[in-house]
Amino acid sequence: MKLYELVIFGALSGGLAFGQAPVHGAASTAGGSKSAQPSSTDSGPSGSMQVKSIAQVLHDNPQLTDKMKPLLPAEITPEQACSGYKTLDQCLGAVHLAWDVKISFTDLKTATTGKHAAGLEKAVAQLAPAADAHVAVKKARAEAGDDMKGVSLFTN
């Protein structure tokens, strides 16, 4: 496509020229005002993908639950362990952290979920003062990330 064709095409398609592409979900500058609100028809790239619940991800990925079970107390299922956490990676990080630092998962979960939740580092500092909380949390998050490889969080 020649340069003048790009300019004409850009002008006809909303003022974009010289090979610029629109940014999905970008703020509009029409009329001199900026709006950070997406349009009501803005539903993402395909419009049909939704985030799965933690329970659904665990159900759909038995290999993930198999990795979690040995790290949890026998009476706690992976689904029970993750209830109260906002994301699966937060839950997995806490599971690994409790195992690595040799602290009660139940105590860690109590400290890191709910109305007065503390961060993982603060909770470890309280539950295992001899541990290097920063290093332990970093390791646990890396282990959780490894567990999440190949796991789809979205429905089709």
Per-residue pLDDT at 32: 43
Per residue in 47-76, pLDDT tens?
Answer: 678 999 999 999 999 999 999 999 999 999
Tell me how far apart the alpha carbons of residues 124 and 138 are, in angstroms, rounded to a whole number.
12
Q: What is the pTM of this model?
A: 0.69
Tell me how far apart the alpha carbons of residues 96 and 63 are, in angstroms, rounded to a whole number.
16
Per-residue pLDDT at 6: 36
Per-residue pLDDT at 78: 97
Per-residue pLDDT at 94: 98
Successive 10-residue mean pLDDT values, the chain, 156 residues: 40 38 40 42 62 94 95 97 95 98 97 94 97 98 95 86
